[in-house]
Amino acid sequence: MLRPVCRRTAMAAAPLAANVRTGCCRNVRALCSARHPPTNTGSPPPIASYLPYLSSPRRFLSTPAATLQDSASPHHPPSPPKPDLKALPNKFTILGRPYTRHAHTNVTPTIISKTDRRLHLQPNHPINILKRRIESHFPSFTPIDSLDPVVTTQQNFDSLLFPPDHIGRAATDTYYVNANQVLRTHTSAHQAEVLRRREDEAFLLTADVYRRDEIDVSHYPVFHQMEGVRTFSRSELEREVMQDPVMKDSGSSSSSSSSSIQGAVLSPTNPIQPAHTRTDALLVDLHLRTSLESMVRSLFREDPDLQIRWIEAYFPFTSPSWEMEVLYRGQWLELLGCGVIQQSILDSSNNADRVGWAFGLGLERIAMVMFDIPDIRLFWSRDERFLNQFKAGDIVKFQPFSKFPVCYKDISFWCPDGFHDNDFADIVRDVAGDMAEDVKLIDKFQHPKTKKTSRCFRINYRSMDRTCTNEEVDQIQDQVRRLAEEKLGVELR
Ligand code: PHE
């Protein structure tokens, strides 16, 4: 996952105060998986402040160099959240299946309680509406959408060629059920098993995915991804490309097409796999990117001049790899990661005779833009003032019900060795639930003599559906302080 290491994260060491106000640190880190062209220096975004969530994309599971060593209440407002502070018992269940607590277990009751929500299957929910839109664009792809979120580390990482020391495996980034099982961190975790069945040469796999993460309006530890996979025999591939006028035109060197695909040529830093001939790779790549451009143009059809660009990326399981960005309301918005499937994955899943492509996109991120939803927590709302605004098949703009006041509290403490910000974020989530809008590190320093590190976090509390009283926020804050002391061993200041 995108963690330090990237040269751009030198920024993370810049004075925190500046980062805190602009969110710049996260922004920079989030873009690091892609090998970006020079920053767009055109006129400043006209409405930069209007779309805060655009600046903080959900990270893709990329970053080659980053390693572990581096680093429902219908008509009246709901009552205050009742924090579920029970520790996870020794025996627990996830979707009815029994598990035993283990030294590696870091799933929390709060996270487990999300596993049965399956927003992508709720009719009239924006996530489901978007899912269906994309499925209708790829009618020949088999939809798969009810796979269990508990997968093995083999499925989530090894089957996709993640090196043993990849940062994505870290307990600070991933929810472990036990030493060998995790809550899937991406839908790619199911690629190999579905390919092995050889039933579907094209599928769209939608699921809830889980990542330990920071807290703000565009990050939530559970979100929804859609994985698209298409495989071909060599002859099918050639036939499909030749039969499609757009692909045929983009592929020919004499073409006058202004397709953005031509602008992004393959390079040594984004190589063709040794197992592929140049023709194999170019045709799969062309098919992939033409298909995705056509899907995205149909999603954003009210903007016929939508600008798309392709940024070189890295994923252990594809090469060449790309991230697609669209220019939306003046800002480049990262929509998806994709690439030509590593041949060894196809070989070991009983598909040695085929080549193929894959893409993965975050549904919340696109839904926030398409439905104008300003805060990712809203997707989880059971409030009818949210849910009743959406109807299957329609893309409508969300009408915010009033924004309730924010109340912030700071907490400072000395950190024990091994402290990680995501451990603190999980405590805040457990205690405050969706009342926690944002948690920011606003100060950090090291004592010159003792070498101990102190951190100060500012927690913004804001309910999505009512005004919270100062007293209730104080109580929550007290619980956060107590639990941070008890569970993380911090020394409060
Ligand atoms: N699984 C990747 C992620 O979550 C996205 C991806 C899917 C990239 C398929 C390439 C191919 O970051």
- What separation in Å is there between the alpha carbon of 324 and the centre of ligand 1? 12
Q: Which of 33, 174, 225, 315 to mutate to test the pocket of ligand 1 (most atoms within 8 A of CB)?
A: 315
Closest atom of ligand 1 relative to the 61 alpha carbon? 12
Q: Is 338 in the pocket of ligand 1 (CB under 6 A)?
A: yes
Q: Is 30 in the pocket of ligand 1 (CB under 6 A)?
A: no
Q: Is 358 in the pocket of ligand 1 (CB under 6 A)?
A: yes
Please tell me the residue having the least CA distance from ligand 1 atom 10: 338
Q: Is 357 in the pocket of ligand 1 (CB under 6 A)?
A: no
Beta carbons of 439 and 455 less than 8 angstroms apart: no
- What 3-state DSSP class applies to 426? helix
Closest atom of ligand 1 relative to the 321 alpha carbon? 10
CATH number of 7-387: 3.30.930.10
Closest atom of ligand 1 relative to the 229 alpha carbon? 9
Report the half-sphere exposure of 252 (CA within 13 A, side-chain side): 10
Task: Please name the residues in contact with 133: beta carbons below 8 A apart, sequence gap of 6 or more.
Answer: 298, 299, 395
Q: Where exactly does CATH 3.30.930.10 map onto the chain?
A: 7-387
Please tell me the residue having the least CA distance from ligand 1 atom 7: 360
Beta carbons of 419 and 427 less than 8 angstroms apart: no
- 334: which 2 tokens? 């990262």
DSSP code of residue 211: -
Q: Where exactly does CATH 3.30.70.380 map onto the chain?
A: 407-492
Instruction: Give the domain 407-492 fold.
Output: Alpha-Beta Plaits (3.30.70)
| Nearest-angstrom CA–CA distance, 353 and 182 | 32
Beta carbons of 184 and 173 less than 8 angstroms apart: no
Question: What are the pLDDT tens digits along the chain (493 aa)?
Answer: 322 222 222 222 222 222 222 222 222 222 224 443 333 322 322 223 224 344 444 556 665 544 454 443 333 444 444 444 568 999 999 999 999 999 999 999 999 999 999 999 999 999 999 999 999 999 999 999 999 999 999 999 999 999 999 999 999 999 999 999 999 999 999 999 999 999 999 999 999 999 998 899 889 999 999 999 999 999 999 999 999 888 877 766 544 444 667 655 678 899 999 999 999 999 999 999 999 999 999 999 988 899 999 999 999 999 999 999 999 888 899 999 999 999 999 999 999 999 999 999 999 999 999 999 999 999 999 999 999 999 999 999 999 987 889 999 999 999 999 999 999 999 999 999 999 999 999 999 999 999 999 999 999 999 988 898 999 999 999 999 999 999 999 999 9
The pTM assigned to this predicted structure is: 0.82
Q: Is 53 in the pocket of ligand 1 (CB under 6 A)?
A: no
* Residue bearing tokens 């913004």: 460
Q: Is 61 in the pocket of ligand 1 (CB under 6 A)?
A: yes
Sequence letter at residue 445:
F
Residues counted in the chain: 493
What is the pLDDT, as a whole number, of residue 67?
A: 47
